[in-house]
Every structure is written in structure tokens, then in C-alpha cells.
Amino acid sequence: MRMVTMMLMMPLSVSVAMAETPTVMDAYALANRSNAVWAHSFGLGDAGAVAAGYTDSALVVPPAAAPIEGHAAIKDYWAQRIADGQQIYVRVESADVRGNALIQSGVWSVEVTNPYGERAYGGGNFMRILDRQEDGSWKIRMESWEPAGAAARDARISQL
């Protein structure tokens, strides 16, 4: 079983009751809940459930790779990462709700076994934008992440 850890993990739901003008705490709660749902699906090895958390026209922009668009391509992308045995960790550092969009950013790290059987590590910064759906749920419209330099990455990841 894969292990995926989320900082401030909350019950698995992406519906958050918010005031008409959301507070910073509302935004952080929503970001952490949506990430917990994503991490739970990834940890179960269910690429279909991971992809279900994205809008129909979602865009995933991995570092040094072509953008990935739509459920089928996103499902295939995450299925490969699941098959690679990746363990992904994230921490939200900034979250803001603007209208029907949640903008979040933070740090990520990944552990994976390299072809020599050794554990390899990486990490950096991420950004996700989620859209509120007609049913009140939230889905990822766009996400992107980039690796940080070794010194910066190690200093920030040690705080996860």
C-alpha cells in the first residue's frame, strides 16, 4: 500500500460551508480537504478516482514535460506515477478563494525507488486552481509544479 501524507488532513470531503465572503481559514480548510481527497485516491492506487477530481478541461503542467489535458490523459499520467511507487507529500502555504476559484500554493516532495532499487527524493513548489462546480463541489482546473534547487528544497521539505 502506498503512503501519502498530507499536512492537516481532514475528513474526505470537498464541500466546505463558507461565509458569503470566505475567510483565509475557509480557503485553507478547503485546500487541505481537497488535497486530502486527492492523496487518499492516490494512496489507494486509484488513478480513476484521482482523475475524477479534475474538471473536464483540466490542465496538468508537470516540469519539463508537455501539458496534459482532460480526464483520460490525466488518469494515464497519475496511473504511471502510482505504478512507479511514488509517495507524494504536500503542504499548503497559501490559499485564497476568489469568486468560484480556489487558488492554493505550497511545497511538495516525492519519494520513488530508482532503477537501482534506491530511494530517490525530489521536491519543490506547486500551485493548484480549483473551480466550484454547480453542485457545490470543487475540482482542479489547473495545476503545475516545479522542482526547487537542492538547498532550497531540502530546507523547505524538512519542515513537512
- Give the model confidence (pLDDT) of 10-48 as tens digits: 323 344 444 455 677 889 999 999 998 998 999 899 999
Report the number of distinct structural domains present in the chain.
Answer: 1
Regarding pTM above 0.85, the answer is: no
Distance in angstroms (rounded) separating the CA atoms of residues 45 and 39: 10
45 occurs within a structural domain: yes
Q: Is 76 helix (H, G, I), strand (E, B) or coil?
A: helix
Residue 94 sits at φ, ψ, to 5 deg, of -150, 135
Distance in angstroms (rounded) separating the CA atoms of residues 121 and 138: 30
Yes or no: say if 142 and 61 are a contact pair by the CB < 8 Å rule.
yes
DSSP at 118: -
Distance in angstroms (rounded) separating the CA atoms of residues 58 and 122: 24
Residue 15 sits at φ, ψ, to 5 deg, of -100, 125
Give the residue carrying C-alpha cell 507524494.
88
Domain encompassing residue 125: 5-9+21-157
pLDDT at 6 over 80: no
Yes or no: say if 128 and 91 are a contact pair by the CB < 8 Å rule.
no
CATH number at residue 112: 3.10.450.50
User: What is the predicted pLDDT for the residue at 5?
Assistant: 37
15 occurs within a structural domain: no
16 occurs within a structural domain: no
The alpha-carbon radius of gyration of the chain (Å, integer) is 15
Give the residue carrying C-alpha cell 475557509.
26
14 occurs within a structural domain: no
- Give the model confidence (pLDDT) of 74-84 as tens digits: 999 999 999 98
151 occurs within a structural domain: yes
The residues, any chain, with a CB within 8 Å of residue 20's CB and separated by 6 or more, are none
User: What is the predicted pLDDT for the residue at 116?
Assistant: 87
Strand runs labelled E in 1-152? 5-6, 54-61, 68-69, 87-98, 101-113, 119-132, 138-147
